[in-house]
Amino acid sequence: KAGVTQTPRYLIKTRGQQVTLSCSPISGHRSVSWYQQTPGQGLQFLFEYFSETQRNKGNFPGRFSGRQFSNSRSEMNVSTLELGDSALYLCASSFGTGYEQYFGPGTRLTVT
């Protein structure tokens, strides 16, 4: 069974630009969660989607948004990039509440 895939793996953007990251969950998984990992703040929850609906949202500004498609694939968008948005963005999928989350390899975003 294929694992969680994330594209692109690496990305370099300039301040003020916007970026879209993609996540394809494990087949059959309907929940997709996004996390930001930085050396200073550690791993922080961004949001979670289940059956195309956002169920949970972390404490991030409105510049961070996401969506989920009918095939459970999810995208995360960050507008008006800031230097502090440089991070590893991890996507995780699961069957739903109470099930383990399986992580993708991450997208390394660098904002210059």
Partner 1 sequence: AQTVTQSQPEMSVQEAETVTLSCTYDTSENNYYLFWYKQPPSRQMILVIRQEAYKQQNATENRFSVNFQKAAKSFSLKISDSQLGDTAMYFCAFMRLLKGAQKLVFGQGTRLTINP
Of these, 50, 68, 78, 87, which contacts partner 1 (CB under 8 A)? 50
Q: Does 25 bind partner 1 (CB under 8 A)?
A: no
The continuous run of DSSP H or E covering 21 comes out as: strand 19-24
Least distance from C-beta 30 to partner 1, angstroms?
10
Q: With CB under 8 A as the rule, give the number of residues binding partner 1.
A: 25
**Quick one: 6 exposed, middle or buried, by C-beta within 10 A (0-12, 13-18, 19+)?**
buried
| Least distance in angstroms from the C-beta of 68 to partner 1 | 13
CB of 39 to partner 1, least distance (A): 10
> Which of 13, 22, 45, 73 lies at the binding interface for partner 1 (CB under 8 A)?
45
Cβ nearer to partner 1, comparing 13 with 102: 102
- b/e per residue 33-63 (b: at least 16 CB within 10 A): bbbbeeeeeeeeebbbbbeeeeeeeeebeee
